[in-house]
Amino acid sequence: MASYSTNEFKGGLKVMLDGDPCAIVENEFVKPGKGQAFNRVKLRNLMTGRVWERTFKSGESLEAADVLELEMEYLYTDGEMWYFMLNDGSFEQYPVEKRALGDTEKWLKEQVVYTVTLWNDNVINVTPPNFIELEVVETDPGVKGDTAQGGSKPATLSSGAVARVPLFINEGEVLKIDTRTGEYVGRA
């Protein structure tokens, strides 16, 4: 496997650290005018999502991580595994464990395309699209005429997520939601 030296560390580069695949977030070159150079590096652990901050001597290297990010469509779940299909026409399916799915479970909707991260051919992470359209399955009855007051109420969506929505929203409506913040964007 190839390896990368600190001067090649760029945002998004995938490397191995302490046995886990990580993505470089930020790489800062630190050097006293006449002294030894170091790199302060922020890396996101792709297994846990946590961001690590590490210092390396400039010129040190890390092994590349065999990580792929692929577009896949969500198919179904059998209760134990969640199944996704490659979006490239190959119909190849990938089973995903609950651990890898994490918080994305509450944003799952059939036929929507997700970004699936594979490490050594195993799925380690699933990222939903930034915006998703979901139906309201449960909420208090809508209050008419209230569009500007800015009040809100909880609404349960078809995927299982709960979002704060304006008071005028009714059950059965389809809403556009920002999956990064869980916030209501508008009616679909």
Partner 1 sequence: MSQTDWQPTASIETLRERARLLAHTRAFFAERGVLEVETPVLGHGGSTDVHLQSLSCEAMTDAGQERLWLQTSPEFHMKRLLAAGSGPIFQLSRSFRDGEVGRRHNLEFTMLEWYRPGLDLEGMIAEVESLIRHVLPFDPGPCRHYRYRDLFRDRLGIDPLTRSLTELRDCASRHGGLDMSQEGRDDCLDLLMSLIIEPDLGQQCVAVVTDYPASQAALARHHRDAEDGSLVAARFEVYLAGLELANGYDELTDPQEQAARFADDNARRRQLGKREVAPDQRLLAALEAGLPIGSGVALGLDRLLQLALGKACVREVMAFSTSNC
Nearer to partner 1, 17 or 185 (CB): 17
Q: How far is the CB of 105 from partner 1 (least distance, A)?
A: 34
Nearer to partner 1, 39 or 104 (CB): 39
Cβ–Cβ < 8 Å for 126, 109: no
Q: How far is the CB of 149 from partner 1 (least distance, A)?
A: 40
Furthest CA-CA distance within the chain: 70
Task: Give the CA radius of gyration of the chain.
Answer: 21
Q: How far is the CB of 53 from partner 1 (least distance, A)?
A: 8
Helix (H), strand (E) at residue 100: helix 98-101
Nearer to partner 1, 28 or 92 (CB): 28
Cβ–Cβ < 8 Å for 116, 72: yes
Nearer to partner 1, 58 or 158 (CB): 58
Binding site for partner 1 (CB under 8 A): 7, 27-38, 40, 54-58
Q: How far is the CB of 91 from partner 1 (least distance, A)?
A: 33
Cβ–Cβ < 8 Å for 22, 52: yes
